[in-house]
Chains A and B, each alone.
Chain A
């Protein structure tokens, strides 16, 4: 009786083990080397991430059809979303605060529907006002604020999040609700 169960047990153990090892070989590095594990932060909350404090302090929206939107030169049927992020570097790496990549995500629950890169190089006449930095600034090692801005279509939903990727922290990344 025991001799019968040996091959069955071998299959039961080896099959999942083979699938698991194959998956890890093929997909492990794929998920490890990209932002695949969001750290969700509620609207307005401050979070400690990678030895640095992060908090969204202001969000504003400008419609293309508004006077400001026309002045900026937004394309029709779009809106500009500007986000101010306060950064408080606590732990420096080689004397620098962390560099980050910002993007805007349209969410449906926990699911990311669409995402937009920041519009620094977009063909619009907009720049954040002083003293805001343009994005993460590793040379600044004390408390500072940076602006990130995005041009999105006006059919984008209202559930938006700011994604901040710090390469040293991947695959974890920040997802701050706006």
Chain B
């Protein structure tokens, strides 16, 4: 065996090792299309590619009220006070994804409040819009949850802001009043 054979063998081993690393670290199944999660906490500004948001508070109530709407439910409401803004441009920049994930269940924000929610609101670059998100969930679902926020209704291959919430720690009120949606409020 001469030196050339040894070099060829070593090169082949290196190529196989690199291939194994690539195969092992590449996303599998649908993983290559998954959103890119950015995790934060209540009170912190969480920023992704073209969305930034701050969750200020969350409350749980059997009935919710806005200035124009009263929401009743056979389940329970989770009301999240959030401010959100776009980061780089306003093209199709809407708060299109607002989900509460509890266990294996995913609840989208309610559209019942119509204009009294920031859900699906247009987002301005650098100018936050603050207001409530309403989630209508079963009463027995109060537990550890993940709030997920994203631009567009399909956040795949884009940032997804994730804020953990422990709903079991929140007092269940008979009624909660939500603030109006306000453009330019922190």
Min Cβ gap A144→B in Å is 26
On chain A, the residues within 8 Å of B90 by CB distance are 103, 115-117
A14 within 8 A of B: no
Chain B CB within 10 Å, residue with most, of A117, A122, A152: A117
Q: For residue A78, which residues in chain B have a CB less than 8 angstroms away from its CB?
A: 127, 184
What are 5 pairs between A and B in contact, CB < 8 Å?
A75-B185, A103-B89, A103-B90, A115-B90, A152-B125
CB of A160 to closest CB in B, whole Å: 13
- Contact-residue size bin, chain A (C-beta under 8 Å from the other chain): 10 to 19
Contact between chains at B124 and A123 (CB < 8 Å) = no
> Residue B127 contacts which of A103, A113, A115, A153 (CB distance < 8 angstroms)?
A153
What residues of chain A lie closer than 8 Å to B185, measured between beta carbons?
75
- Whether A77 sits at the interface, judged by CB under 8 Å, is yes
Q: B120 CB to closest chain A CB, in angstroms?
A: 15
Q: Name B's A-contacting residues (CB within 8 A).
A: 87-91, 124-127, 183-185
A123–B90 alpha-carbon span in the complex (Å) = 16
Interface string of A111-144 (1 = CB under 8 A from B): 0011111000011000000000000000000000
* Interface residue? A148 (CB, 8 A): no
Q: Judging by beta carbons under 8 Å apart, are B126 and A152 in contact?
A: yes
* 6 nearest A-B pairs in the assembled complex, by CB-CB distance: A75-B184, A153-B126, A117-B90, A115-B89, A114-B125, A153-B127
A125 to B: closest C-beta gap in Å: 13
Which of B89, B124, B125, B184 is the one whose CB lies under 8 Å from A76? B184
Our pick among A76, A114, A122, A123 for the contact of B126 (Cβ within 8 Å) is: A114
Compute how far the CA of A174 lies from the CA of B91 in the bound complex, rounded to whole angstroms: 18
Q: A residues 75-128 with Cβ under 8 Å of B?
A: 75-78, 103, 113-117, 122-123
Least CB separation from A154: chain B residue? B126
Interface residues of A (CB under 8 A from B): 74-78, 103, 113-117, 122-123, 151-153, 155-156
Complex CA–CA separation, A76 to B183 (angstroms): 10
How many angstroms from the CA of A78 to the CA of B183 in the assembled complex?
11
In the complex, which residues of chain A have a beta carbon less than 8 angstroms from the beta carbon of B184?
Answer: 74-78
Pairwise interchain contact B125-A116, C-beta atoms closer than 8 A:
yes
What's the Cα separation between A115 and B86 when bound, in Å? 10
Contact between B88 and A151 (Cβ–Cβ < 8 Å)?
A: no
Q: Could you say which of A114, A123, A153, A156 contacts B89, with CB atoms under 8 Å apart?
A: A114
B88 touches A116 (CB 8 A): no
Name which residue of chain A comes closest to B87, CB basis: A114
Chain A residues closer than 8 Å to B127, beta-carbon distance: 75, 77-78, 151-153
> Do residues A115 and B125 form an inter-chain contact, with CB atoms below 8 A?
yes
**Bound complex: CA of A117 vs CA of B91, how far in Å?**
8
Name B88's contact: one of A115, A122, A155 (CB within 8 Å). A115
CB A77 to nearest CB in B, in angstroms, measures: 7
| Shortest Cβ distance from A75 into B: residue | B184
Contacts of B89 in A (CB 8 A): 103, 114-116
Contacts of A155 in B (CB 8 A): 126
